[in-house]
Structure 1
Amino acid sequence: MQRLQRADKLLGALAFVAVQPLRWLRDRAESGHDPARVLVIKFWGIGSIQLLTPAVECLRRRHPDARLELLTLDQNARFAAGLGLFDGVRTLDVSGASWPRLLSRIVGLIARLRRERYDLVYDFEFFTRFSAVVSLLTGAPRTRGFSSPSVWRGGIHTETVPFNRYWHVARNFRCLAGGENGVAVQPADVRAFEPTDADRAELDAVLIGAGLQREGALVVVNPNAGSLSLERRWPRERFAELVTELIRVDGARVVLVGAPGEREWTGGVTALLTDLPSGRFANLCGELSIGALHALLARAALFVGNDSGPMHLAAATGAPTIGLFGPETPHMYAPLGPRVRALYEPPPCSPCINVHDNKVSSCIHGRPECLMNISVEAVTGEARSQLKRNSLRTIDERRAE
């Protein structure tokens, strides 16, 4: 992921210059009719796609008769389809590819997109040059994206909306979709993924295989953060202390989750756990599909995790959610849900991540002091408060009332 960030920054300006003739030709074309085919671009961040859902609902109202498709990375396809918001999902696979192979895939993607003859493209990437160039190369007569005085995107988009760094990201998304109404996005505006019976059956099989008991509050913990910014991770030893406390003192069942590529980091948490009661803990990192993960979140009495995609997914399902923030501010990225709590104890240098620089941390301490300010006691106390408030009921039980 970081190599793609560097390529976008270094090669993006050259790409902008190369495609300027296409921009001039595009700007001379007629584009006055109502769009029949609309493409939404959001490549990176499953959590960002979750926060995009209120904006997509807005697009549905704005273009009620249009076919609405999403272009995203291959790894996000199942999640995006499960939201039930798009008429189609198109993908780009960037995993494990050499630069020549990746370039070949991009060329093939552009050819397929041009054949679709989109009328309008919404580029919901913040300031990546790649998504702006793809928007132009689709051949759509109208493209719409974010603008900022501090980031040059080559004048690619025919319509731009200023990105407001004082608003939550979901509100910025909705503004780009043309739905700004002067108020913040509400939790009820967020569309959650709906797991299927097959997803729930998969989860049951995994939990049985892991030997997890059926009694006790189910707490889901994500000690990971996406590779876009690993500095968002609370220390592993603190997660281990939290897990131990919730199991030994509170009698909870704790499940660790994460992506397959995060097994090593999550395993580091597991290695610090000793003498836990049998059947009260399971490390399911890399073991669950996106559907089974949502089935798990639907049963959870509590979710605790770093500022990450699973945090946003948990909040959207309605699970009581505690998000740990440091390099990024919850002012922009707080989880949106009916039962959420963002823990944030920032020193003067936080936040050091911003969307204008591809969310690359500029930490001056060598380790995130902002996250070190969040104590195990603070997280444990908030976890107990959430568990008590919800009387150890699962989301499914609360929804049935």
Structure 2
Amino acid sequence: MALKLDTRKLQIIDRLIGVPLCASLTLVRRLIGDRFVPEKVEVPGKVLFVKLAEQGSTVLAYPAISRAIQVVGRENVFFLVFEENRFILDAMGIIPHENVITIRHKQPLELAWQALRALMRVRRERLDAAVDLEFFSRGSAVLTFLSGARQRVGFHTFFGDGPYRGDLMTHRLSYNPYLHTSQIFLLMVAALEQPVPRSGKLSIPVPQIEKWVPDFAPAASEQEQVRSLLQRETGNDGEPQIVLLNPNASDLLPLRKWPADRYVSLARRLLDAFPEIYIGLTGAPDEAGPIEAMVQEIGSPRCFSLAGKTTLRQLLVLYTLSELLITNDSGPAHFAAMTQVHTLTLFGPETPALFGARTPRAITIWQGLACSPCVNAYNNRQSSCTNNVCMQKITVDRVFDEASKVYLARSTKHEILR
């Protein structure tokens, strides 16, 4: 049976193969020399962003992509991404469809072939600059180096302060853990417009961000399709008040999970407090079983499962028809930020100071324990923790109180508008 690649296996490949590859290419770079001098400013003609994984982080890159478009034009901005993550770029609608270059990675041989194929396409574009948006991934550093771009921006470990990824960038930047991720990404584009010394110190003010996320605007036909789905699931032919819970019932990110029984208790309390609402539980197709079990445990005709019943784009459309989304720190929190739905995001092993959505409708709950955040760029987003107390400390009472405030405020606003 062929080996399927999940996040953990990709990290192992990145370490076992990526480290020697980065070391070898660094030696090649030093032998052939690098003609570009980063202290000298050259305005690029074509720019490639490399962000293979994490759909939510792609949304956080919106200000950086917008700045690149201002500098070189929309038609000259490209994006290299894993195929399963391209949908969010299409939903953002900021990069031309044909400029999104994808890599399939279900199996190791497929990953190798697809990476080679993507590089051939990238090199045909004769890019001037490449921006590696991965924090300390070796694979993305290799792809950035082999892209053929004369200017290459990426993070560098100057004193062993992060995972080794060689010396493959012309613009070697120090990672600043005190800036929001969107600001960090924007500074990487700013590096192309500034002299960058070999020390990696970009001595410019942190740029102000006026618009943090794009606006998702579905077609009327898309909304009607999802509205019909909601009417079938709720049995309500009108426009039911929808509150969404995203339990993240898979095993991919166990540290970020809020216990399933908390979602059950929360749903019951919300249904009791607000008899007009319906609660939908969302999830991927492989979460359909666990999600349905939670719905059965909640035991209300006003609670239903949407796991596996929508495409990812329809999920965004669903947010436009809902009042509130309650989720852990995951992609849906960032997808929802592109719509008018309010979000309540539960943080634990990571901090909202770096990864929280920055919109007026985004609310975060974080306990701020001494051991949290334990997942960061320096440890390659891995942790030795096996007991996520940071998430378990978040009580149902606290989430219910916050959710009630948000829902009541929205309901009041709706009444005023009527």
Indicate whether the TM-score tops 0.5.
yes
Q: Runs (4+) of structure 1 moved beyond 6 Å? A: 29-32
1:378 and 2:389 are equivalent in the alignment: no
Q: Is the 8 A contact 1:222 1:305 kept in 2?
A: yes
SS in 1 for 2:297: coil
Deviation at 1:210, TM superposition (A): 2.1
Are 2:170 and 1:164 equivalent residues in the alignment? no
> What amino acid is aligned across from residue 154 of structure 1 in structure 2?
G
TM-score normalized by the length of structure 1: 0.89
Whether 1:245 and 2:257 are equivalent positions in the alignment is: no
**Distance in 1 separating the partners of 2:157 and 2:218:** 38
Decide whether aligned partners of structure 1 residues 198 and 228 sit closer, same or farther in structure 2, where only a CA change above 3 A counts. same
Identity of aligned residues (%): 29
Counterpart position of 2:200: none
C-alpha distance in 2, partners of 1:172/1:30? Answer: 22
Distance 1:33 1:165, change over 3 A: closer
Q: Which digits, 9 at most, give the CA deviation of each residue in 1:10-41, with x for residues without a partner?
A: 22110112323553447136997542221111
Distance 1:67 1:59, change over 3 A: same
Aligned length: 390
Contact 1:352 1:361 in 2 (8 A): yes
Moved more, 218-227 or 322-331: 218-227
- CA distance in 2 between counterparts of 1:184 and 1:282 reads 42
Q: What is aligned with 2:165?
A: 153
Q: Give the corresponding residue for 1:41.
A: 50
Retained in 1: the 8 A contact 2:350–2:375?
Answer: yes
Q: How do 1:122-133 and structure 2 match up within 5 A?
A: 122-133=131-142
Cα pair distance change 1:340/1:227, threshold 3 Å: same
Shift of residue 125, structure 1, vs aligned partner = 0.7
1:320-374 Cα deviation digits (max 9, x unpaired): 11110111111111122112211111332111111222211321xx321111111
* Aligned-partner residue type, residue 158 of structure 1: T
Partner Cα distance (1:354, 1:30) in 2 = 31
Alignment of 1:83-94 (within 5 A): 83-87=92-96, 88-94=99-105
- Extract unaligned runs of 5+ from structure 2: 1-6, 192-203
Residues 1:118 and 2:140 are matched in the alignment: no
Q: Relative to structure 2, which stretch is displaced further, 102-111 or 60-69? A: 60-69
The Cα shift of 1:300 comes to 1.4
Could you tell me whether the CA contact under 8 Å between 1:217 and 1:393 is conserved in 2? no
Query: Could you tell me which residue of structure 1 aligns to residue 26 of structure 2?
Result: 20
The 5 A counterparts of 1:257-296 are: 257-274=282-299, 276=300, 278=301, 280-296=302-318
Tell me, in whole angstroms, the C-alpha distance in 1 between the residues paired with 2:184 and 2:398.
31
Distance 1:157 1:227 in 2: 35
Given the alignment of the two structures, is residue 192 of structure 1 paired with residue 192 of structure 2, yes or no?
no
Find the counterpart in structure 2 of residue 54 from structure 1: 63
Gaps of 5+ in 1: none
Give the whole-Å Cα distance in 2 for the aligned partners of 1:140 and 1:183. 25
Quick one: distance in 2 between partners of 1:389 and 1:65? 39
Give CA deviations for 1:248-295 in whole Å, capped at 9, x if unaligned. 221221111122233344344224222x1x3x2221112212221111
How many angstroms does 1:6 deviate by?
A: 1.3
RMSD of the alignment, in Å?
A: 2.6
> Is the aligned partner of 1:206 residue 2:229?
yes
For 1:393 and 1:224, the matched residues in 2 are separated by 30
Amino acid in the other structure paired with 2:396: V
The residue aligned with 1:233 is 257
Query: Aligned pair 1:322/2:334, yes or no?
Result: no
User: Shift in Å at residue 157 of structure 1?
Assistant: 0.8
Shift in Å, 1:55: 1.3
Give the whole-Å Cα distance in 2 for the aligned partners of 1:230 and 1:199: 33
Q: Tell me the secondary structure at the aligned position of residue 49 of structure 2.
A: strand
The two structures have a TM-score, normalised by structure 2, of 0.86
Determine helix, strand or coil for the equivalent of 1:341.
Answer: strand
